[in-house]
Amino acid sequence: MRAGGACVAIVLVTASTTVVLAQFKRPRAEVAPVVETTSVAPGGEARLALRVTLPPKVHVQSDKPSDPSLIPTVLTLDLPGGLSLTQTVYPKSEQLKQEGVKDPLSVFGSEFTVRILLKVARDVAPGAVVVPGRLRYQACDDTTCFPPATVEAKWSLLVGRVGKQPPSTAKHDDSR
């Protein structure tokens, strides 16, 4: 009888742990790096974008949260030599009234796009240029804010040539 009771207890603990872990599974942002400029000449400007999709009913704090204690959404680029950041344009935030919070939150909904404008130096050699970057965000639903996460992305630009773009890629990293 004792062995049977111990087995039931183990099953109950395992089932409870599984339910708790499922409830706190971090929502992932899926990203799609987009090169909006098909080809850029040395001395020109390149337009990039990062399309972000979150699970339904999930949001992230905007790049300028209304509460300074909240974690902003930030896109960081690791620009190779010869490229400089001219502008990063985050979307217009939404005002979300959340129960238990006095002031509305400044958030991005489940789908949004961040746009980037780069300047290409005149001395950049023609060919493919890879621009790595990462989006840091904190996903939240109606009741829970999850630990911050980072998703990596890469854009490939063609400098000085007109033609097909090399593929851009994205990779999620939950360790940050």
- 67 domain-assigned: yes
Residue 119 domain flag: yes
The mean predicted confidence, pLDDT, of the chain is: 84
Question: Quick one: pLDDT at residue 2?
Answer: 58
Chain position carrying tokens 């207890």: 9
Q: In this predicted model, what pLDDT tens digit does every residue of 86-108 receive, in sequence order?
A: 999 999 999 998 877 788 999 99
**What is the CATH classification number for the domain harbouring 113?**
2.60.40.10
* Residue, of 110 and 69, whose pLDDT is higher: 110
- Residue 3: which pLDDT band, with cuts at 50, 70 and 90? low
Count CB atoms within 10 A of the CB of residue 108.
23
Whether residue 159 lies inside any domain: the answer is yes
Q: Is the pLDDT of residue 122 over 80?
A: yes
The answer as to whether 11 is a domain residue is: no
Into how many domains does the chain fold?
1
By the 8 A CB rule, do 42 and 126 touch? yes
Please tell me the distance from the alpha carbon of residue 173 to that of residue 100, in angstroms, as a whole number: 31
User: In angstroms, rounded to a whole number, what is the distance separating the alpha carbons of residues 40 and 129?
Assistant: 11
CA distance 145 to 124: 43
Percent of the chain with pLDDT over 70: 77
pLDDT in tens, 129-166: 999 999 999 999 988 889 999 999 999 999 985 444 45
Cβ–Cβ under 8 Å, residues 10 and 88: no
Q: Which tops the pLDDT comparison, 31 or 8?
A: 31
Q: Is residue 8 part of a domain?
A: no
Which tokens belong to 34? 């987009």
Could you list the residue range(s) of the whole structural domain that residue 137 is in? 27-173
pLDDT band at 11 (very low <50, low <70, confident <90, very high): very low
Q: What is the token pair recorded at 175?
A: 């360790």
Question: Which residue, 169, 171, 176, is CA-closest to 29?
Answer: 171
As a whole number, mean pLDDT of residues 30-55 equals: 95
In a domain, 98, yes or no: yes
pLDDT at 139: 95
Residue 19 lies in a domain: no
For residue 58, tell me if it sits in a domain.
yes
Rounded average pLDDT over 62-70: 92
Percent of the chain with pLDDT strictly greater than 90: 64
